[in-house]
Amino acid sequence: MSEVIKNRYDFVVLFDVENGNPNGDPDNGNAPRVDLDTGHGIVTDVCLKRKIRNYVETVKEEEEGYQIYIKEGIPLNTSDAKAFAELSIDEKKIPAMKKEDPTLDKKIRDFMCSRFFDIRTFGAVMTTFVKANLNCGQVRGPVQLGFARSVDPIVPQSLTITRVAITTEKDAEKKKTEMGRKEIVPYGLYRVEGFVSANLARKVTGFTEADLELLWEAIINMFEHDHSAARGKMAVRDLIIFKHDSELGNAPSYKLFDSVAVEKKNAETQARCYGDYEVRIYEEKIPEGVTCIRKS
């Protein structure tokens, strides 16, 4: 059985999109998310976690210990109920059971963490347990992601499209085509930064070395089984990992992130592919006790 991780990690992910919408905003006609002040593109952490969950679900196929808690079509309380069933807990008798067994909260938390990969990784809010006055309803996961932000401002485009398939018979009597719109980013390179806490892994979820390797694999491949016409061509281009020699870390995250620079080769032209950028890691900025690992 794989051991719980003992080292802290910080990481940088570079991914790009070509002629697609990496993360539409439903409050803005599903247009690509943009920082209105700077014009930089944004992809939310929730969107990226969804891709990671989907990859793990695809490759593990409900394997023991790798089920996904937050998934389409499965109410959360259905998954919560599995803990009560497996641990023979009567929801109506929880106060009395907690008096008899002070470790009941920990047993429920450990059960959920051991069964669901995404709880063990990202944590979760399990409302069923919160409402039952259990202290295990909110689990803080060791892996956290920020918002992804494009390296340069993006120029979203709204394209008019036509289709010959008419929605209704009544409309078909009046017209032969229908109009629609497609929101795209012609090209954008995005950067997201993340964190892995060995301290939370040890104290809370039991996130293991095997889980960590699966996480790196999922990040690198998170768009490979998620292609669609709406998202265009998306790919992870680089994964830069900073491994600390200790559980609590040997340097502040920002110093490590500052050592990674992404710049256009020609500042006068609009980037249209990954080759238009240069990625540099300034190793002299990386403090002692931290190792840089690059995966792609």
Mean per-residue pLDDT for 258-285?
Answer: 96
- pLDDT one-digit tens code per residue, 227-267: 998 898 999 999 999 999 999 999 999 999 999 999 999 99
Which range, of 51-65, 167-181, 208-222, averages the lowest pLDDT? Answer: 167-181
Residue with tokens 């540099």: 280
Query: Is the per-residue pLDDT at 136 higher than 90?
Result: no
Query: Is the per-residue pLDDT at 143 higher than 90?
Result: yes
> 154-157 long-range contacts, Cβ below 8 Å, gap at least 24?
154/32, 154/34, 154/39, 154/40, 154/41, 154/185, 154/188, 155/39, 155/185, 155/186, 155/270, 156/31, 156/32, 156/34, 156/41, 156/183, 156/184, 156/185, 157/183, 157/184, 157/185, 157/186
Strands of 164-248 (E only): list them.
Answer: 178-196, 233-244
pLDDT at 72: 87
C-alpha span between 12 and 239 (Å, rounded): 6
Mean per-residue pLDDT for 91-105?
Answer: 90
Lookup: tokens for 146: 């920020």
Lookup: tokens for 62: 């409900």
Instruction: Yes or no: say if 145 and 37 are a contact pair by the CB < 8 Å rule.
Output: no
Mean per-residue pLDDT for 133-139?
Answer: 86
How would residue 132 be classed by pLDDT, with cut points 50, 70 and 90? confident
Lookup: tokens for 258: 């500052």
pLDDT at 200: 98
C-alpha span between 120 and 207 (Å, rounded): 6
pLDDT at 174: 78
Query: Is the per-residue pLDDT at 173 higher than 80?
Result: no
pLDDT at 180: 76
Query: Is the per-residue pLDDT at 187 higher than 90?
Result: yes
Q: How many CB atoms lie within 10 A of CB 172?
A: 12
C-alpha span between 143 and 241 (Å, rounded): 13
Query: Is the per-residue pLDDT at 53 higher than 90?
Result: yes
C-alpha span between 95 and 68 (Å, rounded): 29
The answer to whether the Cα torsion of 60, 127, 196, 198 is positive or negative is: negative
How would residue 127 be classed by pLDDT, with cut points 50, 70 and 90? confident
